[in-house]
Chains A and B, each alone.
Chain A
Amino acid sequence: MKYVAELKAKIREKLPELDVVIGWKQGFDPVHASPAFMTTPEEIEQLVVNPLCVQNLATYLPGLKGKKVGIVARECDTRSIGELLQESLIEREELTVFSVKCPGAVDLVKLRQQVGDLGRVRSISFDGPRVTVETPDESSSLDLGELLPGKCRVMAYDEPVLADFRFVDPDQDTVCREEADTDLVALEQMDLDERFAYWRGHLDRCIRCYACRNVCPMCVCQDQCIADTRDPHWLSAETDVRQKWMFQLIHAMHLAGRCTECGECERACPMDIPILTIRRKLNREIHELFGYTSGMDVDAVPPLLTFQPEEKSITEREW
């Protein structure tokens, strides 16, 4: 991105007032970027912004409450920041948002489907919508649009929810777009038994690593998580699919009206379980019931933390 030089200069300028600035740097191999915690000018030099920078860095913010933190955030990431502010899990005065125009994102599962073993990738480069991947045997030219994670296809963000500084290249278009939610549509075309079998099959593969929870920017309970506590004892150590299913429902329901559809849970899942679909469905219902989209308005009250004595959209059962 052309704006990266300008971005680095701005972070250098602001660093003396901040304890840390969170961004991305090149990771352990050509296809991975890693979160970068920048406290020195040398570390700022390592900052990168490209479609491999997939992590939603807002996840780190609640743990850094009390410190002066700068964060490099794409438009969708600022939605998570908005939700954290709505819930007073972070303080606006402690935060400096370096908002960057999103360069697009690469779903590494999709990349692996296209080029095979990612360990063999020697280099990957981006030129607008073209992605060039080199392995020892071949060079492939791919379309970034085909590699986008699902979350970038169902909701488009042109502008950040909040920003202190904004960085956009003059010729840069919005990459994310609003298309039909194919995962949800496919699920809705199944009958109930097929849906049950779908989840039973997928969730049976869950290894209960809890990566989906740990990466979620809105999961802030840490050791208090009821998936871990013995009192109350919601989940047993059995490997039964019901325990895994229950864990997903705990996560989904605790995120109801809060989930910003950042997709981190599904991205982090080592078993590629399509768990974002459950959250999307809840968000669709919340939108229909309460006309509410999480994280978009820092002053809004999340819908499950309030009520109307007469609920216009809820038709109660007559007996």
Chain B
Amino acid sequence: MSAGNGRELRIVGFLCNWCSYGGADTAGVSRLGQPTDLRIIRLPCTGRMDPLFMFKALLSGADGVLVSGCHPRDCHYSEGNFYARRRLELAKRLLPTLGFDSGRFEYTWVSASEGKRWQQVVTAFTEQIHTLGPGPKFSH
């Protein structure tokens, strides 16, 4: 199932091992349909999510980047997502100054049991990226 006009875009998802990665698995096991544009990279915690991963992905040709981790107060390591939230919010706010729509990057929280929510998130984000279209290109 593709969200847009049939052509896939490149979306990179950074998912916390303890929650959203499981949530995506739950969605799959429950056979909840999802767009296929997302490529998942598993992180030990959103606290590992260096905002530079996001910039590197966008500069390397990704059209969108999604980060998903445990809900605040549910971090496996207690505090990782609290630090992540500050960093990621700041990084998102820098995007428009650089010429990237801030909608190309989202961070959110999905627990391992929330297969349905994962389906919603990935579908909505994929649609959002398809609305924005391919990211800015570097060829002159």
Contacts and interface: CB of A to CB of B under 8 A. Distances in A.
Interface of A: 187-188, 192-200, 234, 240-242, 245-246, 249-250, 252-253, 256-257, 277-278, 281-282, 285-286, 289-290, 303-304, 307-309, 311, 314, 316-317, 319
28 contacts: A188-B97, A192-B96, A192-B101, A193-B99, A195-B96, A195-B97, A196-B99, A199-B98, A199-B99, A234-B52, A242-B59, A252-B94, A253-B91, A256-B87, A257-B90, A281-B94, A285-B94, A290-B86, A304-B83, A304-B87, A307-B85, A311-B86, A314-B86, A316-B108, A317-B107, A317-B108, A319-B121, A319-B124
Give chain A's interface secondary structure class: helix
A311 to B, nearest CB: 6
Give chain B's interface secondary structure class: helix
Contact of B98 (A196, A289, A303, A317): A196
A78 to B, nearest CB: 26
B97 A309 contact: no
B120 interface: yes
B101 to A, nearest CB: 6
Interface string B97-120: 111110000111100000001001
B89 A319 contact: no
A256 B90 contact: yes
Contact of B79 (A256, A257, A307): A307
A197 B136 CA distance: 9
A199 B96 CA distance: 12
Contacts of A309: 72-73, 82
Contact of B83 (A197, A252, A286, A307): A307
Contacts of B89: 289, 311, 314
Given A197-B99, A307-B83, 12 more contacts: A187-B97, A192-B136, A195-B96, A199-B98, A200-B138, A249-B55, A252-B94, A256-B87, A285-B93, A286-B90, A304-B83, A314-B89
